[in-house]
Amino acid sequence: MAPLNSEHQPRRRLSLHEYLSMRLLKEAGLRVPEGQVAKTPEEAYRAAKEIGTQDLVVKAQILAGGRRKGVFEGGFKGGVKVVFSPEEARDVSAHMIGKKLFTQQTGEKGRICNEVWVCKRVYPRRECYFAIAMERAFQGPVLIGSSQGGVSIEEVAAEDPGAIVTEPVNITEGLRKEQALQLAEKMRFPTPLAREVADSMIKIYNFFIKYDATLVEINPLAEDSAGSVICLDAKVKFDGNSAFRQKEIFKLQDWTQEDTRDRNAVKADLNYVGLEGSIGCLVNGAGLAMATMDIIKFHGGTPANFLNVGGSATVQQVTEAFKIITSDSKVQAILVNIFGGLMRCDVIAQGIVMAAKDLELKVPIVARLQGTRGDDAKTLIAESGLKILACDDLDAAAKMVVKLSEIMILAKEAQVDVKFQWPVD
């Protein structure tokens, strides 16, 4: 059997900035507010002038929710601001661009705001919530609607679950007009407007399918002062496995919004997810990776990451994997758990040795290498003279790496310098 192509291994979902999502929805035939993106305060001023109205909204572009209640570094409050002149748009933008915005979703790390979206303010008569999501529970797409829009849907779900209605869609048949119309009526749109809302839902569904989206959230989907349907805000997520056929969409990804480790992992064709623990994990196979994290937790440790090198990793990829793992300052020990089937253990061993030498690793490594060329891998590690602790039993390896991590953490707290030196004399 040939190794799986890394291009088809699971990847994380792609999120786009609001202004890009709005642009795509407009191309799909939906009404959105007139607006322009700006990367400097002066560009924001010119955008506001070109829009040609005194009623404007300036929105910080970060990939996180809760912008309206967020706080910028420096103390400026609010990532969504109503302004009444191009001059005010420029002044507000100056407080946003180049600053980190902290919201409930970003946590203490915040997200850098490199752009703002300056758009025409819309005065809605009514605001509703509408989304399409790919849900396992429904075995396909599901429409989600509520008459309560423009607010946190999580709060609505907690306070009034009956206010949220769902409509599963048979993905082979597509969204039928009568389905969309029924949902629009349940969202309390009056009959004449409900037909227009249903048409918009069908356009959004077609967009969802065309671009391999996993979520399209319009909050709010509104009726404007002229009685027409308009999308006032949008969040779109795309299935990372579709990158090979959605190349133009994936070119729009803003890597400044992502962790450097995530960016480096994608470049190296590695599947990586950073966590909050102290034990770095390098494993082949998603199932084995999950089992490895479970056994670390069972023995009292906490994994620092999910990292799956797959079945066709090269020495260079393994070395890059170690660079990514050790770039996390929380990592105090590393567990390598390889079951060699497609993946050769000697390739992993070469990568471990190269990484230990090149990166001058100062954290202990426990390696469990079983399967294809497992004996060759053990020989490579033994002959390297490096202090890498080999262990054939996974349970024993997990116990060992947890203990080593605890020693490193205690030494760090006591400000005692613990060194694991390579090579061993």
Q: How many CA atoms lie within 13 A of 35 on its CB side?
A: 30
Two tokens, residue 334: 């590393």
CB atoms within 10 A of CB 230: 18
- Tell me if residue 217 is catalytic: yes
- Find residue 128's DSSP bridge partners: 221
Catalytic position from the list 19, 129, 205, 211 = 129
The strand ranges marked E within 184-319 are: 213-223, 229-231, 234-238, 271-274, 279-283, 305-308
* Residue 118 · residue 80 · CB < 8 Å: no
* Residue 401 · residue 365 · CB < 8 Å: no
* Residue 363 · residue 326 · CB < 8 Å: yes
Q: Are strands 333-340 and 365-371 parallel, antiparallel or unpaired?
A: parallel
Q: Is the peptide bond before 423 cis (omega within 30 degrees of 0)?
A: yes
* Residue 176 · residue 157 · CB < 8 Å: no
Catalytic position from the list 127, 217, 223, 320 = 217
Q: What are phi and psi of 70, to 5 degrees?
A: -75, 170
Listed in sequence order, the residues at least 6 apart from 414 whose beta carbon sits closer than 8 Å to its beta carbon are none
- Tell me if residue 272 is catalytic: no
* Residue 212 · residue 238 · CB < 8 Å: yes
Q: How far apart are the first and last CA of the chain?
A: 43
- Rounded Cα distance between 387 and 280, Å, is 17
- Residues taking part in catalysis: 129, 217
